[in-house]
Structure 1
Amino acid sequence: MERGNSKHGPRIDDQMSQEVSGLVQGPGTGGSRVDEARVPEPAGEDQPEATTAPAGELRSGAPKGMSSQDVERRSRFGRFITMTALPGDRDTLIANARDNDAPDDIIADLQRLPDGTQYQTVSEVWAALGNKNETTRW
């Protein structure tokens, strides 16, 4: 094995020193720690954009039996029904939702509930309106 001189010359040594200065000295020196060769290029004209959920929906922790959209819709619905209205019937829930400035679509949904039925939870109200709740985990 032949060992030669490892010194490149003053100009090349200075250039190599500047290339690693961001790594050695940290980001406070104004240099970037990102190697330009490692930055991904944007998708081409006929290629899809990169996504964090290539199979469709993000794994958001939605319970079994519900999609993340179902969870978001039920959460929005539940924001306008406070615990003081439960247990309660249709009229109690509508009055409570109006007191909480519920939008018209929430009031219209509550008006579809059958009269005379007592609801213990927002999930029961949600299910009575024909929506999905999570399945029981055993």
Structure 2
Amino acid sequence: MERGSSKHGPRLDEQMGKEVSGLVQGPGAAGSRVDESREPEPAGEDQPGATTAPAGDLRTGTPQGMSSGDVEQRSKLGRFISMNALPGDRAALLASARDNEAPDDIVAELERLPEGTRYQTVSEVWSALGHRNETTRW
């Protein structure tokens, strides 16, 4: 069995090194961008844009039973309630929100909570304020 040389010349070594540099160095390294020749071409003027959604079913990431506005507002509420405030009652949630410099609309919402009830999660707080949470999928 005859074997040939597996060595390459310097030019070929350099070219091969550039091709795999993004894989070797990772996404944060210089030169890790995809070669321009590998970028997909944009759709033509009379062509629809490319989508990865099967059968044209575009998904927004909004859970079933909530609108995207609900998700955004619940997330905004959660940003101002510290984890160490839960489980907690109305007073603990208000104190946490004020400590985290919550805007007036968030403080006003939390002031509507009934006294004497302990909440385990932000979703429970959101529900107690009269908003809808996502429905369970089976």
TM-score by length of 1: 0.59
Structure 1 gap ranges (5+):
1-25, 41-51, 53-57
For 1:90-109, list aligned pairs within 5 A.
90-109=90-109
Cα deviations across residues 83-137 of structure 1 (Å, max 9, x unaligned)?
1100000000000000101000000000000001000000000000000100112
* Residues 1:80 and 2:80 aligned together: yes
How large is the Cα RMSD of the aligned pairs? Answer: 2.7
Quickly say closer, same or farther: Cα 1:115–1:39, change in 2 above 3 A.
same
Cα deviations across residues 46-93 of structure 1 (Å, max 9, x unaligned)?
xxxxxx9xxxxx631111101111111111111101111000000000
Max Rg structure: 1
**Residue type matched to 1:127 in 2?**
S
Quickly say closer, same or farther: Cα 1:83–1:39, change in 2 above 3 A.
same
Matched with 2:64 is 64
**Residue type matched to 1:73 in 2?**
Q
Q: May I ask how many residue pairs the two structures share in their alignment?
A: 93
Quickly say closer, same or farther: Cα 1:115–1:34, change in 2 above 3 A.
closer
Matched with 1:136 is 136
| Counterpart-to-counterpart distance in 2, 1:121 and 1:27 | 47
Matched with 2:11 is none
Matched with 1:112 is 112
User: Identical aligned pairs, as a percentage?
Assistant: 66
Q: How far is 1:27 from its partner? A: 6.7
Structure 2 gap ranges (5+):
1-34, 52-57
Matched with 1:21 is none
TM-score by length of 2: 0.59
| Counterpart-to-counterpart distance in 1, 2:106 and 2:131 | 13
